[in-house]
Amino acid sequence: MTLMDMIEKQEERLVFKSFNELTALTIGQALVEKALVQMAPVVIDIRTPDRTLFHAALPGASPDNDHWARRKSNVALRYHKSSLRVGESNRLKGRSLSHDIGIDPLDYADHGGSFPVRIAGSGVIAAITVSGLKSEEDHAMIIEVLEAHLGLA
């Protein structure tokens, strides 16, 4: 199974029946707990296109991680796909997010670590983002928490 196949399957499986502020808080707290156990220097951010629902900066994270989280979540919210999937798709096509395709790289980053919150029958309404580890590790942390939260672990 390719990385793209794996990510596509994750996006198909990890779909919510509903999602609100309390859901964001629960998932955010689970991500914080996981990061603290791993001593991961990350920023955790859950947002809709116009509102931050949860944000935490853990020991060792830098202000730059906040900017990366914003840029990665912009990708998930714009493309309705995980930032890792968008990045892998671009790499396979030999391109990147740039002004050449109408995207400002100061506002968008196609590195792993942002996952779309998809509501069954409605579509993508938010993005869950982790920034501070390697792309695949940021992505994996979100996947583990979502699988547990949705009872799919």
Q: pLDDT tens digit string along 34-88? A: 999 999 999 999 999 999 999 999 999 999 999 999 999 999 999 999 999 999 9
Distances (CA, A) of 46 to 4, 43, 89, 92, 101: 23, 10, 24, 28, 27
Has residue 152 got a pLDDT over 80?
yes
**Domains, the chain, with CATH or none:** 3-149 (3.30.450.150)
More confident residue, 153 or 43: 43
Q: β-pairing, 123-131 with 51-57?
A: unpaired
The answer to whether 150 and 14 are in contact (CB under 8 A) is yes
Residue 113: which of 151, 65, 79, 78 has the closest Cα?
65
pLDDT tens-digit readout, 101-149: 888 999 999 999 999 999 999 999 999 999 999 999 999 999 999 999 9
* Confidence at 1, pLDDT banded by 50, 70, 90: confident
Cα distance between residue 149 and residue 145, in whole Å: 6
Has residue 99 got a pLDDT over 90?
no
Cα distance between residue 105 and residue 96, in whole Å: 9
Cα distance between residue 59 and residue 16, in whole Å: 30
- State the pLDDT at residue 128: 98
Has residue 153 got a pLDDT over 80?
no
Q: β-pairing, 114-119 with 15-16?
A: parallel
Q: How many CB atoms lie within 10 A of CB 106?
A: 8
